[in-house]
């Protein structure tokens, strides 16, 4: 098989949460342990940092990787979901895993893993860990896929755990209260291993404190950290919510120094200033067009959209235009209730099975007091927004990772 055939095989043979949703979710770590045993526990051959949370974990993971790269470490980075190409998930010093490695891995190992019927994420995680070991990385930043306690990344023994925040997402798997969700995320807290908590509420803070006490893990709350140990840091990632991520990172970095990492101020400044170039991060308040300004963001739940809306309210423009689509397992009414009513809307749908049909989204949005038209694809919606815009207008594209993925893949903003 060539690379494209291999990726098609993976999409079709193993259930992929990104595409089909809940039916791909597998509770328990039995497959993960079996794969780990088969590959001879590759994650034990390099240092790791584990990052969980409802929102912000991708930005924090990429920025940490950028800082570690700048400090001279050969740095693995494992994140999800991908936006355009599977290889975005697995990187070393910003370079995606090679197509050849993906093809060879599947060809060589399929006789072993096919009888296990692993999920897409279980298999991708095993591939990432084996790749990082084969390439002899110094350290890997590992982003949790979903939850924490039962996530297949949770077999690692990291130098540091980070939980960015807790919000309502994937409630069908993690629980329908912040306390229950926090309990799942707290599952990454390991005995005697420091943990940084980015943002809390009274109920989630109690959960984290209880878990950390139980396993004797030093715990640090970024909200209580009002000092920055590094001067002159300019963060390339824009957006109000990145200020919280910045504080989380400034709490985490000195702890990494305490456990033996060598990170100087210049490495921190360079990592923060060039995170996109160093790691290939996309879709975080990313500007793609000027006159009119067009920005996309992958925020996709009530917590993430809250910050997006706060940011939109600060934009100076003649007319705000919002291209939005969502997947059908999110709190759609909760998101629609947050969106500004003065904007002109372009309701659309991403090219995935989980996408909520554009007409259905428009019907729900109309009931919420939002005005606009439905479009069959992201490209047609963005084209319409650009055509109708004056140079002083502002276009926002988002609501789902998949909307941003379709936008970036279409390159319609370059027309």
Statement: residue 21 has pLDDT above 80? no
Per-residue pLDDT band for 171 (boundaries 50, 70, 90) equals: low
Per-residue pLDDT band for 148 (boundaries 50, 70, 90) equals: confident
Phi, psi of 26 (to 5 degrees): -120, 120
pLDDT digits (tens, 9 = 90+) for 288-338: 999 999 999 998 888 889 989 999 999 999 999 999 999 988 789 999 999
Per-residue pLDDT band for 146 (boundaries 50, 70, 90) equals: confident
CA distance 100 to 369: 51
CA distance 236 to 277: 10
Query: What is residue 176's predicted lDDT score, i.e. its pLDDT?
Result: 66
Are 90 and 96 in contact by the 8 Å Cβ rule? The answer is: yes
> Which residues are paired to 327 by β-bridges?
355
Beta strand 293-297 with 286-289: parallel, antiparallel or unpaired? antiparallel
CA distance 285 to 212: 33
- Domains with residue ranges and CATH for the chain: 3-279 (3.40.1190.10), 286-414 (3.90.190.20)
Q: How far is CA 352 from CA 19, 54, 256, in A?
A: 6, 22, 39
Statement: residue 228 has pLDDT above 80? yes
Phi, psi of 232 (to 5 degrees): 65, 30
Beta strand 344-347 with 75-78: parallel, antiparallel or unpaired? unpaired
CA distance 392 to 384: 16
**Pair of tokens at residue 330:** 């999110």
Q: What is the mean pLDDT of residues 1-21?
A: 77
Are 307 and 283 in contact by the 8 Å Cβ rule? The answer is: no
Are 327 and 21 in contact by the 8 Å Cβ rule? The answer is: yes
Least confident residue range of 95-109, 215-229, 257-271, 366-380: 215-229
pTM score > 0.85 for this model? yes
Q: What is the mean pLDDT of residues 237-242?
A: 88
Statement: residue 169 has pLDDT above 80? no
What is the pLDDT of the chain when averaged over all its residues?
A: 93
What is residue 197's three-state secondary structure?
strand
Length of the chain: 415
CA distance 41 to 35: 9
Statement: residue 163 has pLDDT above 50? yes
CA distance 371 to 366: 6
Q: What is the mean pLDDT of residues 144-161?
A: 93
Per-residue pLDDT band for 173 (boundaries 50, 70, 90) equals: low
Burial per residue of 136-145, b for 16 or more beta-carbon CB atoms within 10 angstroms, e otherwise: ebebbbbbbb
């Amino acid at each position: 098989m060539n690379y494209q055939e291999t990726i098609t095989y993976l999409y079709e043979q193993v259930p992929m949460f990104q595409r089909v949703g809940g039916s791909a979710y597998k509770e328990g770590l039995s497959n993960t342990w079996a794969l780990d045993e088969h590959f001879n526990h590759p994650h034990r051959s390099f240092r790791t940092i584990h990052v969980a949370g409802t929102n912000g974990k991708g930005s924090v993971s990429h920025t940490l990787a950028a800082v570690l790269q700048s400090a001279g470490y050969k740095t693995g980075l494992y994140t999800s979901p991908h936006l355009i190409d599977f290889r975005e998930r697995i990187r070393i010093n910003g370079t995606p895993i090679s197509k050849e490695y993906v093809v060879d891995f599947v060809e060589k190992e399929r006789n072993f893993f096919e009888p296990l019927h692993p999920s897409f994420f279980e298999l991708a995680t095993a591939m990432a860990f084996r790749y990082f070991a084969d390439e002899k990385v110094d350290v890997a930043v590992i982003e949790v896929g979903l939850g924490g306690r039962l996530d297949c990344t949770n077999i690692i023994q990291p130098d540091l755990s980070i939980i960015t925040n807790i919000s309502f997402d994937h409630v069908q798997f993690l629980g329908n209260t912040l306390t229950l969700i926090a309990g799942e995320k707290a599952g990454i807290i390991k005995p005697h291993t420091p943990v940084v908590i980015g943002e809390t509420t009274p109920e989630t803070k109690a959960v984290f404190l209880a878990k950390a006490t139980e396993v004797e893990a030093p715990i640090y709350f970024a909200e209580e950290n009002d000092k920055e140990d590094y001067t002159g840091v300019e963060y390339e990632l824009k957006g109000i919510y990145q200020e919280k991520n910045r504080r989380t990172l400034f709490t985490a970095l000195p702890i990494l120094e305490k456990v033996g990492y060598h990170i100087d101020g210049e490495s921190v400044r360079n990592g923060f200033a060039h995170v996109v170039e160093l790691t290939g991060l996309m879709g975080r308040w990313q500007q793609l067009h000027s006159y009119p300004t067009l920005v996309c963001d992958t925020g996709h739940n009530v917590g993430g959209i809250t910050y997006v809306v706060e940011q939109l309210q600060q934009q100076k423009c003649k007319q705000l235009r919002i291209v939005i689509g969502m997947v059908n397992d999110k709190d759609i009414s909760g998101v629609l209730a947050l969106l500004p009513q003065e904007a002109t809307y372009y309701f659309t749908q991403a090219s995935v099975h989980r996408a909520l049909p554009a007409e259905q989204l428009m019907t729900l949005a109309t009931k919420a007091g939002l005005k606009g038209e439905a479009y069959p694809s992201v490209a047609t919606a963005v084209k319409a927004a650009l055509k109708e815009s004056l140079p002083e207008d502002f276009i926002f594209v988002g609501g789902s990772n998949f909307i941003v993925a379709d936008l970036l893949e279409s390159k319609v903003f370059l027309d």
